[in-house]
């Protein structure tokens, strides 16, 4: 959420290196192109939200040797690089900005603003945060009094519970998360059949990696039959691949599906 080794307030980083595709999104949204020394090798993936902006920018595998050779004055990460990146890069005098993994839109907005300040563009963070607030307000104004049950189901079989960003997405959309237990779990197929929600929000079912994964639960014939009989909506893959402010796209997708006749 904040710089591990704080830069002087007036210093704007000039050689930013991002270690994973979730961190890439913050850098691509907030930094000038000439501030970016390198992005991760996942920056052009189909679930990289700002992948079009990443074209032509150098990529790194994120190894310590490769990153240090780029002479960064700021490393940005969500999950990439060493787990103790703060200590590792701190030995070389390089500050680390930790971003992402926010469980709701309030903390996602704060995370966004913190990152914008660290990258030297607080005004950009404020503008995006205001847009997020406006979109959340519109969803709240149009939310039905009676909230319909919504279940999020990933192609890997995971179902989101309370305390997750997906739970916040469903709530912002005007729905009620069918799974009330905390965190994530694998939902038995029997439960899906016995207690069908009003809407199933599908994640990564149209992802290229899942389509070629022969072992994915999304290929199970019984699950396919159950989904054909249910009301479903495909969520935009790039909007839900990381826990960040742009997950609002997914909330708007669910809201539109709930309002549809």
CATH number (domain holding residue 173): 3.40.50.1980
What is the total residue count of the chain? 261
Work out the average pLDDT over 35-44.
97
Place 220 in a pLDDT band, splitting at 50, 70 and 90: low
Domain membership flag for residue 6: no
Q: What domain range is 220 assigned to?
A: 145-259
10, part of any domain: no
Non-local CB neighbours of 51 within 8 Å, separated by 6+ positions: 43, 44, 45, 238
Domain count, the chain: 2
Mean pLDDT of all residues in 1-13? 55
Give the pLDDT confidence of 175-204 residue by residue, as tens digits. Answer: 999 888 898 888 766 666 676 788 999 998
Q: State mean pLDDT over 54-64.
A: 97
pLDDT exceeds cutoff 60 at 159: yes
Phi/psi of residue 52, nearest 5 degrees: -65, -30
pLDDT of residue 192: 67
Specify if 207 maps to a domain.
Answer: yes
Within a domain: residue 4?
Answer: no
Answer yes or no: is 136 within a domain. Answer: no
Contact yes or no for 15/107 (Cβ under 8 A): no
Q: What does the pLDDT average to over 229-241? A: 91
Residue 7 has pLDDT above 60, yes or no: no
- pLDDT at position 197: 82
Are 25 and 106 part of one and the same domain? yes
- Taking 50 as the threshold, does the pLDDT of residue 42 lie above it? yes
CB 239 within 8 Å of CB 250: yes
Rg, C-alpha atoms of the chain: 20
The verdict on residue 2 lying in a domain is no
123 and 37 in one domain? Answer: yes
Residue 96 lies in a domain: yes
| 71 and 156 fall within a common domain | no
Does the residue 31 lie in any domain? Answer: yes
Residues 166 and 125 in one domain: no
């Amino acid at each position: 959420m904040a710089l591990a080794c704080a830069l002087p307030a007036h210093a704007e980083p000039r050689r930013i290196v991002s270690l994973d595709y979730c961190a890439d999104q913050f850098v691509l949204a907030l930094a000038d192109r000439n501030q970016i020394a390198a992005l991760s090798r996942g920056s052009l993936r189909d679930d990289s939200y700002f992948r079009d902006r990443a074209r032509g920018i150098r990529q790194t595998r994120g190894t310590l040797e490769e990153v240090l050779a780029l002479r960064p004055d700021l490393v940005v990460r969500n999950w990439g690089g060493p787990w103790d990146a703060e200590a590792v890069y701190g030995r070389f005098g390089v500050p680390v900005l930790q971003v992402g993994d926010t469980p709701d839109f309030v903390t996602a907005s704060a995370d966004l603003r913190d990152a914008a300040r660290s990258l030297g563009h607080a005004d950009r963070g404020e503008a995006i945060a205001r847009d997020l607030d406006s979109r959340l307000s519109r969803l709240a104004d149009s939310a039905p009094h009676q909230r319909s049950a919504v279940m999020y189901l990933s192609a890997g079989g995971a179902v989101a519970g309370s305390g997750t960003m997906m739970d916040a997405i469903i709530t912002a959309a005007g729905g009620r998360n069918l799974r009330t237990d905390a965190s994530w779990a694998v939902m038995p197929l029997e439960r899906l059949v016995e207690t069908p929600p009003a809407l199933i929000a599908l994640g990564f079912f149209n992802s290229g990696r899942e389509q070629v994964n022969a072992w994915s639960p999304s290929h199970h014939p019984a699950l396919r039959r159950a989904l054909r009989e249910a009301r479903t909506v495909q969520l935009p893959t790039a909007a839900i691949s990381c826990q960040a402010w742009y997950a609002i796209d997914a909330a708007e997708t669910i809201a539109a599906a709930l309002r549809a006749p």
